[in-house]
Amino acid sequence: MANESQSRTARRQQQQSKQSKKKKRSLWKKILLTIGVILLIVSISVGALFGYYAITAPDLDSSLLSDPASTKVYDMNKGLYADLGTEKRTKITYNDIPETLKNAVLATEDVRFFDHSGIDLRRIGGAVIANFTDGFGSEGASTITQQVVKDSFLSTDKTIKRKVQEQWLAIQLDRKYSKEEIFEMYLNKIYYGSGAYGVATAAETYFGKTDLNELTLSESALLAGLPQRPSAYDPMVNPDLAKKRMNTVLKLMVRHEKISEAEAEEAKQVNIEDMLNPSSKQDVKYQAFIQKVAEEVERKTGANIYTDGLEVYTTLDPKAQDKVEFLLSDAEDNPIKYSDDEIQSGVTVLDTTSGAIRAIGGGRNRENNNGWNYAFQGDGRQAGSVIKPILDYGPAIEHLNWSTYHQINDDAPYALKGTDGKEVKNWNNQYQGWVSARYALKKSLNVPALKALEEVGLTKAEEFANGIGISLHEKPIITDGIGGGSSNATSLEMAGAYSAFGNEGVYNEPYAVTEIVYSDGQTEKFKSEPKAAMSDATAYMITDMLKDVISSGTGTKASIPGLPIAGKTGTTNIEGGEGSPDAWFAGYTTNYSIAVWTGYGNTSKKAIPDTSISQRLFKELMSHISEGMDTPDFKKPNSVVEVAIEKGSNPAKLPSKFTPESEIVTELFKKGHEPSKTSEKFDQLDPVSGLEAEYDEETNSISVSWDYDGDQDVNFIVNAGGDNTTTTDKTEIEISSVEKGKTYTISVTAVDTSNEGNISEAKSVKVKVPEEEPEEEPNPNNPEDGTGENGETDEGGTPPDGSEGSEGGTEEDDDNSGSDQGGTGGDNGNDTGGPTEKPEKPSS
């Protein structure tokens, strides 16, 4: 029985095991069936979606295959000023293409071009893997055929729809046209930078060659590499990047066995600058501004204004742009005269309140009018003293609550730590002891600026600069505070930074594009977002100090009568040499902010002959664009207070009631940080006592005397009316040659010899000088009167008997009065002859 029971149990377990296996197989079948259905649905859906994308793809319009759709560029008033892509170009046929150029293009863009059917499945597979690992759009698989399609018919959106339509149309294009025709289309329509469409135009633009068969291997490799990023690889703008791209193409040609390793190495030895022989065939209006538009559109959207057929609305002001280009030209009536053709300048004009770029001056005599743009490309040049409000005084006011009066000791050169005795001097080699922040900035003194930066700290200073668009390109050092070190900037960056001071501390990143309308009708709008970079108090106090730079500091040549302007000059030094290789001026009104750099190109350290040229460029430009506009003055915010301060007090103190007006100055303080203590420097001296004055008839003078009981060492200022003032260290004085009949008010004031502003109350006394007594009538019978018996005298007043007469003359002698002796007084002020009454002693 036990065995039968065990057997039944075993059979039940086997049956249960079989049933469990059946259930598991059934579950897996359901899972696989579900997955299959899902995949089928997904496949059908994807196929339907792709089919929809293909059906809705644009038609192959043969008229668009040879020339790209043009991009229209509009100014701030929506006026058209450029139609890019409609320029004349040189077209070629397939037979005009030399083998070296063809191999360079194929090795770089599509090595299996002649083998695939418009799309390259191997490249698509690699791109799919990259897009899964790095995100959609990280790597493309576009063939030459696809690039022709994209540039001719489609937008630049990195979407699945656009890629599907691109591949579908590429297959259709490959069926309709031969490989040679498609290759010809590509080389005729692709954009090569510098305004050059098509390889033939590019060869002429960069190398001055009209026959493609004359192209060297190096030149062919350079041209083949440009279409990937034409602006970045432009050899006239970025020769170093262009050289790297050329070497990459040569490496690809070796990999695909188009050239040998030796040929590639020989081609790599050629300098980019030696290859260039640019022509001026392209001449697009406002090209310097368009360069900025192209950079901004590509950076913000990925679109290419030269190939994508856009409508671009910009911030350009034609009035400002025309003036900038005129001032950078060699026109005979240009008021700015340049010393030579090599001197360059970068100019930027912004709207102070919005950051909108109104004009850009990219340089002078630029190659093909499209070379290096000194206004915004690269890291810029050393900023010189225009950096001082940004790294030194701005952060000190913002973080340390400095006033414009804050005292800084300018007593000696600034010793640089860890430099074996190196030091920074003021530009004028003069040191004045304690000076205010206002004075130090106005006179652009280096030592106070470095002490300000040292006190606020490099970290906070760098953060402040970053907040208004200025980036130090290396770890900050103390000499950045005077525009040395890595304190480089472009005129675009500097104009943006200074605009924040003029906009109540609000920074707007400069921008050139307001709206883009894409080829499919989609619209995208742009505007800089305002950012509070500093307090309105800091902005206003810096502005107020910079107004002094214009009125009485280093920037007087930028002054424009009647226009409230703030600004700062800046120059740099040649280490171990003389002169300045860079001259800056950055300034602003409530309407416009302008920054101007002038110097020699290619980071040259050659000194410019005239460092005031940037100021004069600013003045001409600001005067022109401000003409006819209302330009209000900068408004003081409630966070700033004006306070009367006693000069020389340190820290700042209020003047006492005895402080002379000449010793009081008005400065700006952040509200809540103004001084409260009153100076005791000018305590009033004790006045003189016992003041007396007496007229002396015999000497016709007034004798003045007084006593002084004070302890101070003093002098005395004696005033007898009007400008009749005398200073003495005695307690008595004589006033001579006084006027008859006049009353004199004589005052005496004590003055501290060690502090001339410290004076006493004036004490005064009056003295009346008697009138001159009237002349007595002569007695004809009195011989002493000098008359004869008949009342006549000989000439000279001699009696008839020849004896000596009296010293006085008669009335007949009045015309000769004023002789040495005896003449009557008349109007000449001499004493009268004859007796006079003794005047009474005047009272004190």
If DSSP codes are grouped into helix, strand and coil, which group holds residue 836?
coil
**CA–CA separation, 528 and 514 (whole Å):** 9
Active site (annotated) includes residue 761: no
Question: Is residue 651 reached through a cis peptide bond, with omega within 30 degrees of 0 on the bond before it?
Answer: yes
Q: Are strands 311-314 and 71-74 parallel, antiparallel or unpaired?
A: parallel
- Name residues whose C-beta falls within 8 Å of residue 115's C-beta, 6 or more positions apart in sequence: none
Phi, psi of 122 (to 5 degrees): -65, -40
Cβ-based burial of 23 (10 A; exposed 0-12, middle 13-18, buried ≥19)? exposed
Asked if residues 352 and 358 have their Cβ atoms less than 8 Å apart, the reply is no
Element (H, E) at 525: strand 523-525
Query: What tokens does 20 get?
Result: 């469990």
User: How many angstroms separate the Cα of 516 from the Cα of each of 193, 292, 295, 786?
Assistant: 21, 15, 14, 116
The C-alpha torsion from 381 through 382 and 387 to 388, rounded to 10°, is -160
Parallel/antiparallel/unpaired status of strands 71-74 and 755-759:
unpaired
Q: Is 385 among the residues known to form the active site?
A: yes
Our CA dihedral for 559, 563, 568, 573, rounded to 10 degrees, sits at -30
Catalytic residue among 385, 436, 487, 499: 385
Q: Where would I find the H helices in 443-578?
A: 446-456, 458-467, 491-502, 536-552
Among residues 220, 153, 247, 151, the alpha carbon closest in space to that of 191 is found at 151
Place of tokens 């000499």: 479
Which of 343, 378, 373 minimizes the C-alpha distance to 361?
373
| Token pair recorded at residue 507 | 């920074």
Tell me how far CA of residue 453 lies from CA of 390, 476, 478, 483, 785, in angstroms.
10, 11, 7, 12, 92
| Sequence-ordered list of residues with C-beta below 8 angstroms from that of 231, at least 6 positions apart, any chain | 193, 237, 291, 294, 295, 298
What DSSP string runs through 101-141?
Answer: HHHHHHHHH-TTTTTSSSS-HHHHHHHHHHHHHH-TTSS--
Helices 2-55 and 160-176: angle between axes, nearest 10 degrees: 60
Tokens describing residue 640? 């700033």
Compute the residue count for the chain. Answer: 844
Q: Which of 109, 295, 462, 667 is catalytic?
A: 109
Under 8 Å between Cβ of 104 and 221? yes
**What's the farthest any 2 CA atoms get from each other in the chain?**
204
Which sign does the torsion angle of CA 33, 37, 43, 47 carry? Answer: positive
Q: Which two tokens stand for residue 409?
A: 């000791």
Answer whether 538's CB lies under 8 Å from 503's CB: no
| Whole-number Å distance between alpha carbons of 439 and 426 | 13
15 phi and psi angles, rounded to 5 deg? -65, -40
**Catalytic residue positions, numbered:** 109, 385
